[in-house]
Every structure is written in structure tokens, then in C-alpha cells.
């Protein structure tokens, strides 16, 4: 499996005081040097952390690949078509949420989703849909033209170590198997940390795990290079 590192929280810290520190671009470079195989950045509609200028610089300087998280927003779609990141991950977005709270309802917004991602796919950008591990959402996603889904692992992460862990993990496993049978490739992320990530190797043929908060949190105590290396080692050992 591959490790994508989300640098949004570095930008959040920068924006808390204004100015340029800590620099998310430098954070991305450090992540690349220490085992990240892609960098994820979420350009939210309210620009609360990552900003347009960050995305523009990342698109020109990354040595690995840029995974742009975005909502169905025409302005951000236009930016994506201009810079052509390696991939985009389409996510739901609500202004009042602290972080992405659930998956995209592709089944309910099927035509809108299919039409929105079509020009991105046509331009050569790999498209992933961030969905809950739900059979209905997987089947709808398979018919949109997207090449990937990213399974929302939040419920599994929250239930880790409790009596509900197995049920939530099996939901991920079943959804991944169905997606792969429908021709989709599968990534996963949200809430994964240095403990619960270990079970991801039980899900066959996962391509990439996207992890941010846990890595940046650990970096406060051990430094970003070590935090990324430690997670990279766990992800590789789960291959």
C-alpha cells in the first residue's frame, strides 16, 4: 500500500496566527523525503486552511503527486482543470463542520456527480469519490466513470478497540471487495492512526491510505520526518 499524507493541519496552524509559519509547502517536501507517495490537500470553499496559492505551488513543486480534495464547486473545478493535479478526491462539505464528517451521497446526487467529474476525467485527472462503506454508494460510484473510491474509515476508527470494531471493519472489507468487482480501485482514509492502521492489510488490494491528523499530531512530539517514516513503515508492513 501507498501512503498519502494530508497537510491541511499544517496550514490550519499557519492560519491561526497569519504569516507563513509553519509552511505547508515545506511540510509537503519533508513528507515526500520520508516516505509519502502523494500529498493530499483539501481546498475548501471557505479556504479555512489550504489556500489557492498553496495548491498552485504544490502543483509545480511536488516530486510525487498532488491529490486535491474538493467539493462540487465550479471555481475549484476550474482551478483543477488549469493545474491538472494527478488526482482529485470529491468530498462532501459543510461550512459548520470541523472536518469531513461522512461520505459523499453519490446515489442521491448521481447525475450531478457524474456530470461534475466528466471534464476532470476527460482532462486526464484521476477521480476518486469519498464515500461511506455502503453498498448503495459503491454501486452508484461505479457508474459515474470515476476510477477510484476512497472509503471513509471514520466509523471504524472511532469504534477501534470496542465491541463495534469488527462490524465496522467488515463493512469496509465488504465495500472494498464489491468496489473492486465493479472495476473500481480503492483507497481509504479518515481517522486512521498508528494503532488502527494495522488492520488495513486485511483488506485486499487497497491502493493508498490518506492520513493527516495523526501524523501531524505525532510530529509535535517526534518531528515530522520521524512521524512520516513511522507511518510509512506501518503502511508498507501492511502490504
Q: What's the 3-state SS for 133-201? A: CCHHHHHHHHCCCCCEEEEECHHHHHHCCCCCHHHHHHHHHHHHHHHHHCCCEEEEECCCCCCHHHHHH
Contacts of 221 (CB under 8 A, 6+ apart): none
Q: How far is CA 60 from CA 52, 85, 143, 177, in A?
A: 13, 10, 32, 36
Contact 149, 129 (CB under 8 A): yes
Q: Which sequence positions are flagged as catalytic? A: 42, 69, 190
The grid coordinates listed for 110 are 448521481
Amino acid at each position: 500500500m501507498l501512503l498519502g499524507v494530508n497537510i491541511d493541519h499544517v496550514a490550519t496552524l499557519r492560519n491561526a496566527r497569519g504569516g507563513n509559519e509553519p509552511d505547508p509547502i515545506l511540510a509537503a517536501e519533508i513528507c515526500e523525503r520520508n516516505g509519502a507517495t502523494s500529498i493530499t490537500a483539501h481546498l475548501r470553499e471557505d479556504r479555512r486552511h489550504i489556500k489557492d496559492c498553496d495548491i498552485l505551488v504544490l502543483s509545480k513543486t511536488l516530486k510525487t503527486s498532488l491529490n486535491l480534495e474538493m467539493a462540487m464547486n465550479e471555481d475549484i473545478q476550474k482551478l483543477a482543470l488549469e493545474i491538472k493535479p494527478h488526482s482529485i478526491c470529491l468530498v462532501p462539505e459543510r461550512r459548520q463542520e470541523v472536518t469531513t464528517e461522512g461520505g459523499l451521497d453519490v446515489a442521491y446526487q448521481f447525475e450531478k456527480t457524474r456530470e461534475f467529474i466528466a471534464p476532470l476525467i476527460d482532462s486526464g485527472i484521476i477521480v476518486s469519490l469519498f464515500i461511506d462503506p455502503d453498498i448503495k454508494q459503491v454501486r452508484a460510484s461505479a457508474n459515474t466513470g470515476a476510477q477510484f473510491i476512497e472509503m471513509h474509515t471514520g466509523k471504524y476508527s472511532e469504534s477501534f478497540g470496542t465491541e463495534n470494531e469488527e462490524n465496522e471493519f467488515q463493512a469496509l472489507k465488504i465495500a472494498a471487495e464489491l468496489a473492486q468487482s465493479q472495476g473500481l480501485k480503492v483507497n481509504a482514509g479518515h481517522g486512521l492512526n498508528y494503532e488502527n492502521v494495522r488492520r488495513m492489510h486485511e483488506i485486499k488490494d487497497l491502493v493508498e491510505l490518506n492520513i493527516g491528523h495523526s501524523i501531524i499530531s505525532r510530529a509535535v512530539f517526534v518531528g515530522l520526518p520521524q512521524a512520516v517514516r513511522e507511518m510509512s513503515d506501518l503502511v508498507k508492513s501492511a502490504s
